[in-house]
Amino acid sequence: MRKNVQNLLTVVVFATAALLASLPGSVLAKTVAEQVPSPSSDDVVYATAHGKRYHRKDCRYAKDASPMSRKDAEAKGLTPCKVCKP
């Protein structure tokens, strides 16, 4: 009889531990996801080293382009591509 009680306690302890282990994890993941701002795709443009235009990532002229912020591209005097209209 005493052994059965011990088994029951063990099951309860394990179940509680599993519950506690799952709860903080999900709360933590949610907090981290809320704290890390995902950069808006509107703010990233792609420009080649010697080009005068900046592009969207999928533009056919942006093959060798590097990502940069739209602010940086405009600060360098680059203008939006007429094809992809970033």
Q: Is 59 in the site for Zn ion (CB under 5 A)?
A: yes
Minimum distance, C-beta of residue 65 to Zn ion, in the bound complex (Å): 9
Other C-beta atoms lying within 10 Å of the C-beta of residue 72: 14
Residue nearest to Zn ion (CB): 81
Among 55, 65, 73, 78, binds Zn ion (CB under 5 A): 55
Count of residues binding Zn ion (CB under 5 A)? 6
Beta bridge partners of 44: 69
Q: Is 73 in the site for Zn ion (CB under 5 A)?
A: no
Minimum distance, C-beta of residue 67 to Zn ion, in the bound complex (Å): 14
Q: What does the DSSP assignment read for 7-45?
A: HHHHHHHHHHHHHHHHHHHHHHHHHHHHHSPPPPGGGEE
The residue ranges that bind Zn ion (CB under 5 A) are 55, 59, 61, 81, 83-84
